[in-house]
Chains A and B, each alone.
Chain A
């Protein structure tokens, strides 16, 4: 693997960052404390009047912020990216939108490959990018990680950002509620209901420099009766038109889908949604063709405000064909899943949430590196969680556990306990202890050599984490809130690459590593004036991986993840005048310091900008990404280029 050259980072830049960050935050804090006023004036009129009828109909009346108030009381390191944060950013794809969560680590490898994780373990820095395997990612409750390697193929996770409602990003284990793979975090992507996306929205975006996308999107939402709404959408993008010679970044996709929301009565809601896509891209030197279809139904019955039953059923089928002349290969996965959740109160002080799920995953390959080539992977799980209020409005304990049965390792237990103390309104101090597992993927368990010998002859057990967290959330005023969380994680039985000289490929896969990591996350949201909002955060991470058996190869720690120690992002959302807006996002990521021959990456600081003019139904915007340098490296050997786009959106 080749080293790419490090670009010299001016010292002044690093210095500026050092004092811009903390001093701005402290000053902001000071000045707002001085002028603190107990106002109810929380929805800036300049912002509110730009909302559509649908958006107005969706604002909670009694909540104290645009986000549900309970967010400030959640006993976990959750960050929320709201639709508006995305609309007012330079993001054109889902991974780019995720950069707006300060507690995520995102590194782009090329136009379609991203490494996305939280609290480290981003996987081997590579041009494929997608090797991080400790995050659970869901779109409207549909899990999108691949059983092939336990990570997400980000190239096929496209949706209309306009119709995205919110993205919740939990850093830290979420195994109790969510399931396996939620070792370091959960990304929960939620789209808007059909009712909230009525009318027509058409947008065309075109690149003005090389290596970028031309995106055409269209959505129409309609109403069939007073309680039945639908929307359909279609999108197409093609990177090749704008950069004909570029084989690394070649990427195109056509996708369409629908969603229907039905409200038969006050107590019942039902929705049905689905997507279908087909695309192709360059994967190293091969052309990969991808297709996928999914359909999902959701039913919720409310017995009362505190008690409800949710049933979710989905079916998902994806294919990936790699057209390598020497060895064409394909990988198809079908998933059928059913989940039931029931919430009920017991007395005044306890709320029980329980659930059961069954998923049947079956993959089919002709990759001669996997044995068996086709494998059914049924998984059953159940969980129960009890939220106990010891002292109302002061002390709450949430305990629970998940039990799952997996085809590779049998039964796995994932318990957690969270304590939340709310000494006064707007202040929440929380602590938690939890355990989560990553069940083996096909790569861990079933890889074989050309001779047919298994690469993991001793089998592979689940990777485990014990996580200890401490956090503090505070809302100083209506327009100013902060969140702080610190963590210490102990990992056991992490994957390792071991030497075995008796074989042609002298490598084995074992559970030969343990690790410890610790760090903290700080984030804030500040509505400075009715025309200016700031949000951002800083993350610090240290980790140490060591071998527990002598045969572990020195490259092993890098294979599991090379992570930046420091990371900082700040988004500024500004209304310059009635119709003009200027939105900026700066992102600083520390260097990736890998063990040779794995490629390291230097520190980088990028700036994205968006200037938009909005008319009644039309919006024109100019979007710039990575403006500070012609190119920089995030992960792997391909540079990420500066790019500029123009976009027209019509909404009616």
Chain B
């Protein structure tokens, strides 16, 4: 006979199995909270910046988010963009050791240990349709396009619209409105 006790036991064991598997699934390599949020920003930028059609040679080409230098994101960025697309282009994360390795790239997060190489790197990317992003100080002065900074414990964005124009990118008015605008020559 199916008693209430039986039902209860069956229910409990199924639930237990379910919960255990869920708990295992949720185990993953952690990235610092700050970079989890920044990873989400990077993904979000794909919707507020327009890349020229020439930056893809075919419709099947992936949309590449590159990391130059050590990655602060762990596996979080990959996890976040997995299965996502930009105008039909699959998003792929690639890691670069130096400038020469970068063949095709749409968003480049620059994370260098020495800021001295910064201007060199930015100069090396001149004329390419890459949205350069970093949280390094002096990034926009050096000619970078977008910089994360922290104010009141929150992550905000600073934009160098001139640099964006030079890279042939169209930055949406919404992103501009929400960001602090960087004017060269002014701190």
A residues at B contact (CB < 8 Å): 15, 19, 23-24, 27-28, 30-32, 34-35, 37, 39-43, 45, 48-49, 51-54, 56-64, 198-199, 222-223, 226, 479, 528-530, 532, 578, 616, 652
Contacts and interface: CB of A to CB of B under 8 A. Distances in A.
Given A53-B178, A59-B37, 9 more contacts: A39-B30, A40-B31, A49-B80, A56-B40, A61-B34, A61-B155, A62-B153, A226-B180, A578-B83
A45 B23 contact: no
Interface residues of B, number: 47
B19 interface: yes
Contacts of B27: 35, 37, 39
A514 to B, nearest CB: 43
Contact of B15 (A27, A63, A578, A616): A27
The 3 closest A-B pairs by CB, nearest first: A35-B23, A45-B80, A40-B30
Contacts of B98: none
A479 B22 CA distance: 13
Interface in B26-49: 26-34, 36-37, 39-41, 43-44, 47-48
B88 to A, nearest CB: 13
A84 to B, nearest CB: 14
A616 B76 contact: no
A48 B37 contact: yes
A223 B177 contact: yes
B1 interface: no
Contact of B8 (A19, A49, A63, A64): A19
Contacts of A223: 177-178
A263 to B, nearest CB: 10
Nearest to A15: B4
Nearest to A528: B22
B25 interface: yes
A378 to B, nearest CB: 38
Contact of B153 (A28, A40, A61): A61
A57 B155 contact: yes
A41 B76 CA distance: 9
Contact of B31 (A24, A34, A37, A41): A41
13 contacts: A27-B15, A31-B16, A34-B23, A41-B28, A41-B31, A43-B36, A45-B39, A48-B40, A53-B41, A61-B150, A198-B177, A223-B177, A479-B26
Contact of B154 (A30, A57, A226): A57
A264 to B, nearest CB: 15
Contacts of B79: 45
B181 interface: yes
Contacts of B19: 27-28, 31-32, 528
B148 to A, nearest CB: 10
Contacts of A479: 26
Contacts of A15: 4
Nearest to A32: B23
A529 B174 contact: no
A43 B153 CA distance: 16
Contacts of A532: 22
Interface of B: 4, 8, 12, 15-16, 19-20, 22-34, 36-37, 39-41, 43-44, 47-48, 76, 79-81, 83-84, 150, 153-157, 174-175, 177-178, 180-181
A63 B33 CA distance: 9
A15 B4 CA distance: 10
A23 B154 contact: no
Nearest to B81: A49
Of A40, A41, A529, A652, chain B has the most CB atoms within 10 Å of the CB of A41
A61 B33 contact: yes
Contacts of A19: 8
A53 B157 CA distance: 10
A222 B173 CA distance: 11
A34 B20 contact: yes
Contact of A27 (B4, B12, B31): B12
Contacts of A59: 37, 154-155
B44 A56 contact: yes
B38 to A, nearest CB: 9
A42 B32 CA distance: 9
B12 A54 contact: no
Nearest to A12: B4
A28 B28 CA distance: 20
B153 A45 contact: no
Contacts of A58: 154
Contacts of A198: 174, 177-178
Contacts of B81: 49
Contacts of A34: 20, 23
A51 B34 CA distance: 15
Nearest to B79: A45
Contacts of B29: 41
B128 to A, nearest CB: 25
A37 B23 CA distance: 10
A304 B114 CA distance: 33
A45 B76 contact: yes
Contacts of A30: 16
A57 B40 contact: no
A60 B4 CA distance: 48
